[in-house]
Amino acid sequence: MSIVTNGRLLYVAHPTGYQIPGVHTKYVVEEQIDLDKVDLDGGILVKTLTLSSDPYVRLRMRDPKVPSTFPHLTLGHPVENYGVGVVVRSEKAEFKPGDHVYGFFGFENYTVYPGPPERHHIMQFIQKLDRDPDIPTSVYVGTLGMPGQTAYAGLNAFVAEKAKTSKTLFVSAAAGPVGTYVIEYARHTNPHLKIIASAGSPEKLEILKQSGADVVFNYKTTDTAKVLAEHGPIDIYWDHDGGPVLDETLANMQHYGVIMRVGTNSGYNTERTGLKNLHAMVEKSLSMFGFIVGLGDVQQKALVNFRPDTTKLVLDGVIKIREKKYEELKAAGQALADVHRGQSLGKPVVIVAED
């Protein structure tokens, strides 16, 4: 028999503001499991290697009565998100022990996919991971995972043609893995663009410069509207903020501009605000797109070449890897909290086990 202790990060309380480790999530080591006897119910048993901390997880931390496209987390059950693991046992013909897999896993050392019915939802998936031996598994939850897919799909599905004839691209809250991918990919594919990017600290502004942005500014100490008025008008806006930043950008958009709504950082932990300049959508004939990566035929088509294209860009050094590593599962609660307070330089990844 192979008996192990299975650590888990449980979701234990709904936050009303910022999530707090030990209050809203709790790390427990209380479950002894026999790897040879775990009930798979037609699924697979995965040893977790790497887990991702992403801002949108805060939207899942809510009472189930609150409607959302994002499925809620279940109190008393492990937090779950994108991860990479290796198959230990399998009752699915397409997976064999030793296979690397990428998918949606519980925050636990060993997880069963798809798990009990209460953990089934629209975002669940699992797929074999044909990883490059020169790329660490952690990169597959960042640049080669959901954040990279978000940037690649959004740019190729909605912005590619517009970028060819545009002059300016503005990326807000740009120092995360999605924002830096957008900047580096846009610089690579459309070198004529003037790229404007914002972040909230000197260290993050340096990352934006390294990524290829032409104009960088600290949104905490600088008037966004003044920067955009000086360096705009803006043809393409990649929006991670919503709220006041979106409002200021609307006023500084070029006619027939395109806005990509990818996140609402300003409303994840505080009350959301309205828009005063929404009239610009009509007066300037703007287009605005919002999307959740991977959902819909348009994005599925846009992602067909994501993995081979991005792997080459990473190996060639065009897309840089920037990570903030949290060692061991017990640090996962802090990783989830830090991403909302701007405490992480680079993609936050939880290293649960060695490959």
Q: Is the Cα torsion angle 140, 145, 147, 151 positive or negative in sign?
A: positive
Residue-wise pLDDT tens digits, 256-303: 999 999 876 544 445 556 689 999 999 999 999 988 887 778 888 999
- Domain co-membership, 178 together with 292: yes
DSSP state of 55: T
Determine the longest span between alpha carbons in the chain, in angstroms: 70
- Domain co-membership, 40 together with 133: yes
Instruction: Give the rounded percent of residues in the chain with a pLDDT score beyond 90.
Output: 81
- Domain co-membership, 10 together with 101: yes
- Segments of the chain with pLDDT less than 50: 266-269
- Domain co-membership, 162 together with 138: no
- Is residue 305 within 8 A of residue 52, CB to CB? The reply is no
Residue-wise pLDDT tens digits, 237-265: 999 988 899 999 999 999 999 999 987 65
- Which residues does 197 contact at the CB level (< 8 Å), separation at least 6? 170, 171, 172, 174, 175, 179, 183, 208, 211, 213, 215, 216
The pLDDT assigned to 272 comes to: 58
- Domain co-membership, 119 together with 226: no
Q: Is residue 317 a part of any domain in this protein?
A: no
pTM: 0.90
Dihedral (Cα; 100, 106, 109, 115), 10-degree rounding: -80
Q: Classify 18 as helix, strand or coil.
A: coil
CATH number at residue 78: 3.90.180.10
- Which residues does 142 contact at the CB level (< 8 Å), separation at least 6? 52, 148, 177, 321, 323, 347, 349
Domain that holds residue 7: 3-143+322-351
